[in-house]
Structure 1
Amino acid sequence: MSEKETMIYSHYRAPISQLGEGVEAYVLDEIDGQKQDRPRCVLSKRASAAALGLKSEGGSAFLRTFSRKGVGSAIDENLRFKIENPIVFKYLDPGSELLVHGYETSTFIEVLQALMKARRTGDLAPSQYFLAENAEMLLVALANTTLDTLVYQETGYWTVVEGQKISDILDKYLVDQARKWAKTFPDDFWFKLIKTKGYPSYLALKRPSFVGHWVNDLVYDRLAPGIREKLNKLNPRTDSGRRKKMHHQFTSEAHGLPELREHLVKVMAYMDVASSDQQFMRMMNKALPKFNTTYEMPFDED
């Protein structure tokens, strides 16, 4: 890499067991010193070769294999360009830097699909059949998810950015002192909530204001009779439409917070055992039903 070239860095690396033993992936989260909102996921050349059952030092067999007759005829010009021009980046391991050549996960999936097509059209040489068989097994293993999702999860990237994303949502949609309020709820509550509602990540939540409505529904509506009406009177909206404090600030250590924490434990238990949001809500409505009250929504909509 010269100084004039784009500097690409990864701070996240992990093995992806669904692709085989020792197959590692990276998240390219920094380019020219700028953190990326939607970083690319990549497999090294070595990992790409190993996932397909190719053995070589540095993954050179990957490029060599797709340059040969038979399988090479299944690779179109666009995919061939990607294979011949891997992404060069540095993985920043604590105390060291590792230069890596790799391919985007989308390119790797294209390769698997090309191998399947080559088998259907009879373009593979007999010695290349195993590549299509391995490609089929890999695609089956990824049938219920995306490779990017696995990489984000296994590398720990989502865990880091989720925390910031949740904080941003609370700051915007749960108004004042949201960070302090978030500490009243266990961190697990937020991760369990988004999964129960059918989203892989808070990054995938198109309407973050839903979070406020979910909290109203699962917590304040079910905690105690009339609690939200009481909180609305104690903590009214100002002329600007905002509230001076968060509702939880009107609870006490002796009365309120213990009940709130106990309630959250029960809610998270139902999140754990429910197989869908529908089942979760049926459990909630049966075990922790809403109290019959009428009130304004205490959280802002977008």
Structure 2
Amino acid sequence: MKKPKVISSGVLEIFNNLPCYVLDNGQRVFRLSNLTKALRDKEHGKFGNYLASSNIIKYLPNRLRPLTDEIHDRVPQGVIEFEFNDKIEKGYNSEDFMDVCSAFVTANLNNEKLSEAQQEIVRNANKFIMSTAKIGIIALIDEATGYQDVRDSKELQLKMKYFLVEDDIARKWEKVFPDDLWFEFGRLTNWSGSLKKRPKYWSKYVNELVYNLMDKDIAEYLRKNKPPKYNGHKKYHQWLNGEYGTKELTQHLWQIIGMAKACNNMSELKLLASQKFNKDINI
């Protein structure tokens, strides 16, 4: 049978530089051999073998559950052959890839015992799902309004990169943030859920009110590093008091908490913090 041909290609930088293709039959696909790197940010193991684990495969749609070939490797169903640069490549539908991401996230939510590699995939998969959801609604609005014809060609990727980065930065240091901060964020945003399961959009407030208002060098250090695993022992608190930047971070957090107590909503807090630190914040 005649193989579909690539009519357009590119690279999704925010999916760990994942090559992507549009075929002449309308399918959007990834090259199968690139998917492990997309999920783990390194070439280690075959994509199908990760799907075949007993704690993952049951969360996949039946049509995507991998099969065993003659050399005992696991190969995912739904593999697409397509023509690119006069070669036949094996690909994977982009929508099926998102179903794979959902399977790993669901396994984690169901408290499956996951290996370190699987936990790494869960973290990446969760970021991809949350970020593409945000980008999806933006793209739909752009299509409905016609704005897609005038926006910058890289705008959606830039927005998604921001969504991924802001979440990473904010959550690295959350364990050292006082509960008082989350209480105030909850009050100012009318959050009625548990403060232990904080909404992801709060990470934007953390970046605006904490990292972007601190000393530039300290904020950069905090972005590139993360605290050790908390185990409740005194050693952790000794580290917190002596590690570069942590004292300044703690002082800054309590300043924000103090200002928050005098505010009725997040816009008021942003305005107050902007005036206090003489830096612009998007109100």
Give TM class, smaller chain.
Answer: 0.3 to 0.5
Larger radius of gyration: 1
Question: Which structure carries more relative contact order (alpha carbon 8 Å, separation 6+)?
Answer: 1
Q: TM-score, normalised by structure 1?
A: 0.41
